[in-house]
A and B are shown apart, each in its own frame.
Chain A
């Protein structure tokens, strides 16, 4: 008996030692495009994760374990991502992060769930930091997927709440890319506008093929002919930049409410053309009231000569670190359970990982593209001399949506 206790105590001590004394390194697989069209965005976000991991390691957020981000190139292809996932498993990595493209996210969420079911003891936790298809936390939710970004419906809720206050808005035009995400944006915009401002007319709605249009002038003249004063679009990448450029060329005097105007490449492309016209809805803007996170952004700027905008990286590492600390473990199953319902303080305030569907709930902002004035707008983006001015801060409850998710939890 005595020996047994001693042995047990010894065992416990060694595990504690292993966890506490040796700084354990937790590898996180970053699966996003690092080559091809979206590579600049992926590269920026990989750096964001690495930078935040560095901060976390310095300040010992996790109370022992260190973070290391390993980049994997998925070429923005769902299929390729699954190959990469196998590689991640081979390398013994148990945490993955991904964000670009809801297509990839849906595939990965599905594959991770299947993997975890087929390989018990080798579970993987998947943090999705930017893919916003609502399905991921509704009909297609699963236990291993956690979304750090607000989903497309939440963003639209916030956007329309803000937009509804502007009485000058009468004619709205919806232009989106013709795929699941673009269609979701268009549908949500119509639903919410009908609720909040039934007097607003949807004067036109277009879905165009993804990344195939070179000349947006025809769409712009259609908008003009319809008397548009506001455009709502979920377009990203060159589809957004070209649209704004074409609107400026044709002298279309309309506001643009976007999701992705602050991502790499778009600011450079729109430049002065978007001044005072383009807004984005997101979870954070460096030019916030107290410039929270400006130190992070500046440190990032200094190190990578690029802009830090993917604040979800901060939330993600903070959540993981807290879960490691609470469970005193880096075991994915324990950590996943701990993440459910967890609250952390991030750069935009308190973020809660809702238990029912693994959707992060957080305050959102609407910001406008203006010239840097040094007071409310201190920081520009992509050295254009323009930056984002926070126009509205929307508290968490405003954008929160009910979920249809029926979470299956492992025993």
Chain B
């Protein structure tokens, strides 16, 4: 992986890049000013951690074509090492300031990446997926078998506040933790972005797209996969350690298949094809898991539905949908289509209302009926067992479905037209 000294370089003034990164940093810094509630801060902290974790996962799935079902192993083990380090540090047996703890987690993750990665990356494709599944289950089962290290069912708890405050920072208040996470999140994002432009990052893309050819050119595909996995585990470990600082607890669920599956969902929903896709995915996913589950008990159902719709109709994730619009805007076609988007969005809302109404009423009647069938939705109180609300739901389905279908067709038509113009080379 060497580059010749004089490569042809195309370097336009990267103003856009500076603007994007700068505004991201500003946004992260400003968010706690607007959302001051404790819960909002935790939610944002969790999103920060999830962003690192999902991006590290996408290094495998999106950039190297490795579908892993056991990525939580690395973040989880990183978290365990971080929590033990933190406990030692708070007892004074070890010097380790809290802000540097993510490095411990990262290193631990990377070490296990070296270890497990050597085994898993020997193969690609389905075999890789299966072997990661097996290792994930193995580590999870072990976590309950060795309570000394993993803390058994109760996990390992810790206290992030110890020692003398440095410049008044104790990491007691959640806001301070948020800024720490935001800092690491930004650094990790930048590093992972930079990685995707290194020779290794480019080779990973090549190995994803055409392993035979990459091999033929003289690269060891197995090594490329292995190195990528190690770096990815490093960032996963950072995410794990930040989770430790945020929650002050690590439990076996940190290495569980649920966590591994979650990060897959998050990355895919966001879009694996673009660097920023997983960032969106992580935020949406955390919102689903943490916030939506307080509004409805059927949150898993909505998440499942949302995921399925994405897989079926937008396999590029939210990111690809955004990029499609960016293309339209950039080439000044958005004005032709936005009214149709609006129509589709409005009728889509009707369908969404129909879905929500149906799901919530069914849930109320079949699962939650013991406390009576009265329920409140959108600020309206009604009886889920009565015929009226069901008639409304059916009505919404029919009207919404019909309108949405019509709107969808028009959007598809116009979009097709525009694409055809692009193909003909019109500006």
Measured CB to CB, the closest approach of chain B to A117, in angstroms, equals 9
Instruction: Verify if A406 is at the interface (C-beta below 8 Å from B).
Output: no
Contact A106 B371, CB 8 Å, known A73-B294, A86-B38, A210-B144: no
The dominant DSSP class at the B interface is helix
User: A180 to chain B: which residues have CB within 8 Å?
Assistant: 147, 152-154
Instruction: Verify if B42 is at the interface (C-beta below 8 Å from A).
Output: yes
Instruction: Verify if A167 is at the interface (C-beta below 8 Å from B).
Output: no
A212 to B257, CA, bound (A): 13
Within 8 A of A (CB), among B298-346: 299-300
Q: Is the CB of B249 within 8 A of A90?
A: no
Instruction: Verify if B37 is at the interface (C-beta below 8 Å from A).
Output: yes
Within 8 A of B (CB), among A85-133: 86-87, 89-90, 101-103, 106-107, 110-111, 114, 118, 133
Contact A305 B172, CB 8 Å, known A35-B299, A79-B247, A210-B144: no
Contact A305 B370, CB 8 Å, known A103-B155, A179-B153: yes
The dominant DSSP class at the A interface is helix
Contacts beyond the supplied A47-B370, A107-B157: 18 A-B pairs with Cβ under 8 Å: A35-B297, A43-B368, A50-B371, A72-B294, A78-B154, A78-B251, A79-B253, A86-B39, A89-B38, A90-B38, A90-B39, A107-B249, A178-B145, A179-B147, A179-B153, A180-B147, A209-B145, A303-B371
Q: Is the CB of A110 within 8 A of B370?
A: no
Q: Is the CB of A212 within 8 A of B153?
A: no
User: B152 to chain A: which residues have CB within 8 Å?
Assistant: 103, 179-180, 183
Q: Is the CB of B174 within 8 A of A86?
A: yes
User: A77 to chain B: which residues have CB within 8 Å?
Assistant: 251, 253
Within 8 A of A (CB), among B163-178: 172-174
Measured CB to CB, the closest approach of chain A to B112, in angstroms, equals 21
Instruction: Verify if A75 is at the interface (C-beta below 8 Å from B).
Output: yes
User: B299 to chain A: which residues have CB within 8 Å?
Assistant: 35
Interface centre among B41, B161, B253 (most CB of A within 10 A): B253
Measured CB to CB, the closest approach of chain A to B154, in angstroms, equals 4
Interface size on B, residues (CB 8 A): 35
User: B368 to chain A: which residues have CB within 8 Å?
Assistant: 43
Contact A179 B155, CB 8 Å, known A82-B247, A83-B42: no
Contact A83 B147, CB 8 Å, known A102-B154, A110-B249, A133-B154: no
A306 to B173, CA, bound (A): 43
Instruction: Verify if A324 is at the interface (C-beta below 8 Å from B).
Output: no
Contact A47 B159, CB 8 Å, known A73-B297, A78-B154, A209-B141: no
Q: Which of A34, A86, A87 contacts B297 (CB 8 A)?
A: A34
Interface size class of A (residues with CB under 8 A): 35 or more
Q: Which of B46, B144, B157, B248 contacts A179 (CB 8 A)?
A: B144
Q: Is the CB of A306 within 8 A of B141?
A: no
Q: Is the CB of B46 within 8 A of A111?
A: no
Measured CB to CB, the closest approach of chain A to B157, in angstroms, equals 5
User: B153 to chain A: which residues have CB within 8 Å?
Assistant: 101-103, 179-181, 210
**CB nearest to B150 among chain A residues:** A179
Instruction: Verify if B290 is at the interface (C-beta below 8 Å from A).
Output: yes
Instruction: Verify if B293 is at the interface (C-beta below 8 Å from A).
Output: yes
Q: Is the CB of A303 within 8 A of B370?
A: yes
Q: Is the CB of A47 within 8 A of B371?
A: yes
Q: List 21 A-B contacts (CB under 8 A).
A: A34-B297, A35-B297, A43-B368, A43-B370, A79-B249, A82-B247, A82-B248, A82-B249, A83-B42, A83-B290, A87-B38, A89-B39, A90-B39, A107-B157, A107-B249, A111-B249, A118-B161, A178-B144, A179-B144, A180-B152, A209-B144
